[in-house]
């Protein structure tokens, strides 16, 4: 046996392991956008929906929170001014208070002296405008909550079409998974991200609707209190 032909098996094994190519790890964004041109296009649309959903939610949330802020003694001050015949002082107080309730009461004060039905109609019309301002663009969140999952499902269908197309093009009974990965990524990732967008938009929409309803109830309660004040016998 020739000595120099003896090879250290441990050294050979270590060298073989060191020569095995290490596959680089894929980041989350690499996985998300690894579905080919069709998958990337659909995924971009879904992320745009997500951006708009988050923007609309926080924009409306700040507007609704601002509208809900009102001095707890506001109506007591209005009652005191009207009972004392200080109509102008009540109008000034309403003008200085930036809230839907104050604007409705101001509309009613400006109609004092007219029939109660006319005052009620004027306040009701002003209330519809205030509710419209509060609900502005909120319906878009509802649209996104439905469109997000549907767009993701579209990506699933497109991904499966790509996968089956590659299978048909292979021309053999043996199909490698690498040839199907692009279609599978498109099918799975667009569905997941689309559902996430839909859930975020749906939860945000319902939260805004709940907060808007609270303000509407607050408006109605204060309007009834104001009308009762006008209806009191002098």
Q: Which residue has the tokens 């699933």?
A: 156
* Residues 202, 146: Cα–Cα separation, whole Å: 8
Q: Where are the domains of the chain?
A: 33-231
Model pLDDT, residue 2: 47
Query: How do the pLDDT tens digits run along the chain, 234 residues long?
Result: 444 444 455 554 445 444 544 444 544 455 555 556 766 788 889 999 999 999 999 999 998 888 888 777 888 888 888 888 888 888 888 888 888 888 888 888 888 888 888 888 888 888 889 889 888 889 899 999 999 999 888 888 877 777 777 777 766 556 566 556 666 766 778 888 899 999 999 999 999 999 999 989 988 888 888 888 877 655
Model pLDDT, residue 181: 64
Model pLDDT, residue 155: 82
Q: Give Cα separations from 44 to 33, 190, 230 (angstroms).
A: 9, 10, 57
Looking at the DSSP assignment, which residues form a beta bridge with residue 100?
none
Please report the beta strands in 39-164, taking only residues with DSSP state E, as ranges in sequence order.
none
Residue 80's contacts (CB-CB under 8 Å, 6 or more residues apart) are 86
Say if residues 42 and 151 touch (Cβ distance below 8 Å).
Answer: yes
Model pLDDT, residue 16: 46
CB burial of residue 3 (10 Å; 0-12, 13-18, 19+) = exposed
Q: Give the CB-side neighbour count of residue 84, counting CA atoms within 13 A.
A: 10
Model pLDDT, residue 177: 62
């Amino acid at each position: 046996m020739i000595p120099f032909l003896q090879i250290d098996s441990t050294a050979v094994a270590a060298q073989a392991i060191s020569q095995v190519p290490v596959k680089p790890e894929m980041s989350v964004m690499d996985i998300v956008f690894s579905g080919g041109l069709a998958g990337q296009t659909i995924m971009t649309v879904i992320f745009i929906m997500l951006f708009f959903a988050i923007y609309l939610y926080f924009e409306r949330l700040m507007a609704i929170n601002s509208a809900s802020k009102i001095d707890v003694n506001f109506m007591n001050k209005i009652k005191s001014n009207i009972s004392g015949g200080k109509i102008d002082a009540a109008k000034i107080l309403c003008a200085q208070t930036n809230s839907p309730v104050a604007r409705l009461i101001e509309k009613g004060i400006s109609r004092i002296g007219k029939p109660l039905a006319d005052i009620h109609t004027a306040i009701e019309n002003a209330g519809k405008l205030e509710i419209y301002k509060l609900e502005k663009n909120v319906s878009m969140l509802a649209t996104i909550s439905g469109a997000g999952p549907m767009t993701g499902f579209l990506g699933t269908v497109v991904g499966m079409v790509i996968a089956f197309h590659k299978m048909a093009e292979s021309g053999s009974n043996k199909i490698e998974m690498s040839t199907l990965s692009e279609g599978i990524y498109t099918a799975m990732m667009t569905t997941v991200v689309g559902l996430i967008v839909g859930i975020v938009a749906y939860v945000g929409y319902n939260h805004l609707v709940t907060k808007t309803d609270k303000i509407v109830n607050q408006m109605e309660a204060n309007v009834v209190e104001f009308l009762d004040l006008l209806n009191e016998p002098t």
